Amino acid sequence: MLEKTILRVGVLGCGMISADHFAAWAQCQGAQVVAVCDPMADRARARAEQFGIPAFYDSPEAMMAAESLDLIDIITPRETHAAMVRLAARHGIHALSEKPLCPTLAEAEALVAEVGGTIRVMVNENWRYRAYFRKIAEWLQAGKLGTITLARMALWRSSMLPRAEDGKIHALTRQAFLAKEERVLIAESLIHEIDVMRALFGELDVLACSTGRACPGIVGEDSATILLRTGYGLTVTIDGVMTAAGHDTRAPDRLEIAGTRCSVVLEGAVLKLIGAEEETHVYDEAVVRQNCFNASIQHFVDQVKSGGPFWTSAEDQLGSLRVMEDAYRLAGQMPVLSAMQLPPVAPPRITGFDI
Ligand SMILES: NC(=O)c1ccc[n+]([C@@H]2O[C@H](COP(=O)([O-])OP(=O)(O)OC[C@H]3O[C@@H](n4cnc5c(N)ncnc54)[C@H](O)[C@@H]3O)[C@@H](O)[C@H]2O)c1
């Protein structure tokens, strides 16, 4: 519990996704960003000017030593999160870390064991806070679906294809570091879908996984299908692809849940309950996207103040990282996809039909 009206916040990392964090902090109740830091000092200065933040630094150590911070928001590359959380722990500053908490499950387990008792650590698994997933959770908890018989979630995007306008690969213009990562789609993006499915249905075991790569500009996977099952027998699939022509570079998730009483269909940010009861909710994807940052950050502040549990604690993140590790292990050697040698299966000519 932290009994202070306004908590002092420092932000580490002023890259691409920090824009959404700063927008969320600007409307957060009970906390104020007082300092920002990025080794690229120009980025830190620009964010400080943009959001009226009084101090900026190019060294996390210097910022934490000087600013009497209560909270730190870590928005740096995945391989730096653990060192930043450890540094925060040395200064007694509670930490919100971007996902994935660490590049591997083993590193995350070691981190949680080491700092767990000293500071509070939450992971920004913001997808889970999206309005349509919380509505689905309400329906599931109210028993509207009857027996749940199958669930599948898909993230299909064109973000690893060259753009028509300039030939550049959209995902790499936003996150250049992805070009060199050996773990791309599952570790960077599907970790969110894994987290949402765990939030809705409970812990998941990986039965199988298959990955592939089509984009020549990266070394990791840009497509993946994961077959999972809950402890009570529900089969869940998660699939994603970043090279799906015709799909938006930032297309939202598609989710279907089959139930014996009602089923759920989420497509294009339109959520439907169908069957014995019918409901339709139309969401504005841009609003949902920003609001999930706002909700996650507000939850972090509220729970630090009240001493209550985090919905997306570092300990909880271990469940998603366990799925990620098992998925990569079971996927094994990844094929490189190119123009396929399809078997000669041209359909026979059938008389009497015009198609
Ligand atoms: N939750 C989400 O929806 C979401 C979306 C995109 C990215 N992310 C995550 O956010 C993190 C950052 O991603 P990004 O796309 O903004 O990356 P980015 O490369 O655009 O920005 C990272 C910034 O961190 C800075 N940095 C590196 N080490 C630092 C340190 N020790 N202290 C302070 N700053 C440091 C870099 O100079 C850079 O400006 C990653 O973990 C990524 O997976 C989350």
Q: What is the CATH number of the domain that holds 201?
A: 3.30.360.10
DSSP state of 303: H
Instruction: Assess whether 248 and 134 both reside in one domain.
Output: yes
Instruction: Assess whether 54 and 176 both reside in one domain.
Output: no
Determine the Cα–Cα distance for residues 54 and 43; give it in Å rounded to an integer.
Answer: 14
Cα distances from 119 to residues 67, 83, 189, 265, in angstroms, run: 17, 14, 27, 40
Instruction: Assess whether 21 and 152 both reside in one domain.
Output: no
Instruction: Assess whether 200 and 53 both reside in one domain.
Output: no
pLDDT value of residue 355: 62
Going by pLDDT thresholds of 50, 70 and 90, the confidence category of residue 183 is very high
Residue 183 beta carbon below 6 angstroms from any ligand 1 atom:
no
Looking from the CA of residue 37, the nearest atom of ligand 1 is 33
Instruction: Assess whether 193 and 210 both reside in one domain.
Output: yes
Determine the Cα–Cα distance for residues 204 and 186; give it in Å rounded to an integer.
Answer: 15
- Best CA proximity match to 5, nearest among 31, 34, 37, 39: 31
Specify the DSSP element, H or E, that contains 155: strand 148-156
Nearest Cα residue to atom 39 of ligand 1:
15
Instruction: Assess whether 88 and 150 both reside in one domain.
Output: no
Residue 98 beta carbon below 6 angstroms from any ligand 1 atom:
yes
pLDDT in tens, 230-285: 999 999 999 999 999 999 999 999 999 999 999 999 999 999 999 999 999 999 99
pLDDT value of residue 269: 95
Nearest Cα residue to atom 21 of ligand 1:
15
Going by pLDDT thresholds of 50, 70 and 90, the confidence category of residue 2 is confident
pLDDT at 353 over 90: no
pLDDT at 341 over 90: no
Residue 181 beta carbon below 6 angstroms from any ligand 1 atom:
no
Q: Do 88 and 94 form a contact (C-beta atoms < 8 A)?
A: yes
CA of residue 76 to ligand 1 center, whole Å:
3
pLDDT in tens, 87-145: 999 999 999 999 999 999 999 999 999 998 899 999 999 999 999 999 999 999 999 99
pLDDT in tens, 282-322: 999 999 999 999 999 999 999 999 999 999 999 999 999 99
Residue 240 beta carbon below 6 angstroms from any ligand 1 atom:
no
CA of residue 176 to ligand 1 center, whole Å:
11
What's the whole-number average pLDDT of the chain? Answer: 96
Looking from the CA of residue 125, the nearest atom of ligand 1 is 1
Looking from the CA of residue 176, the nearest atom of ligand 1 is 19
Residues 6 or more apart from 346 whose CB is under 8 A from it? none
pLDDT in tens, 38-79: 999 999 999 999 999 999 999 999 999 999 999 999 999 999
Please state the domain count of the chain.
2
Please tell me the pTM assigned to this model.
Answer: 0.95
CA of residue 30 to ligand 1 center, whole Å:
25
Looking from the CA of residue 126, the nearest atom of ligand 1 is 1
Determine the Cα–Cα distance for residues 323 and 303; give it in Å rounded to an integer.
Answer: 26
Instruction: Assess whether 179 and 324 both reside in one domain.
Output: yes
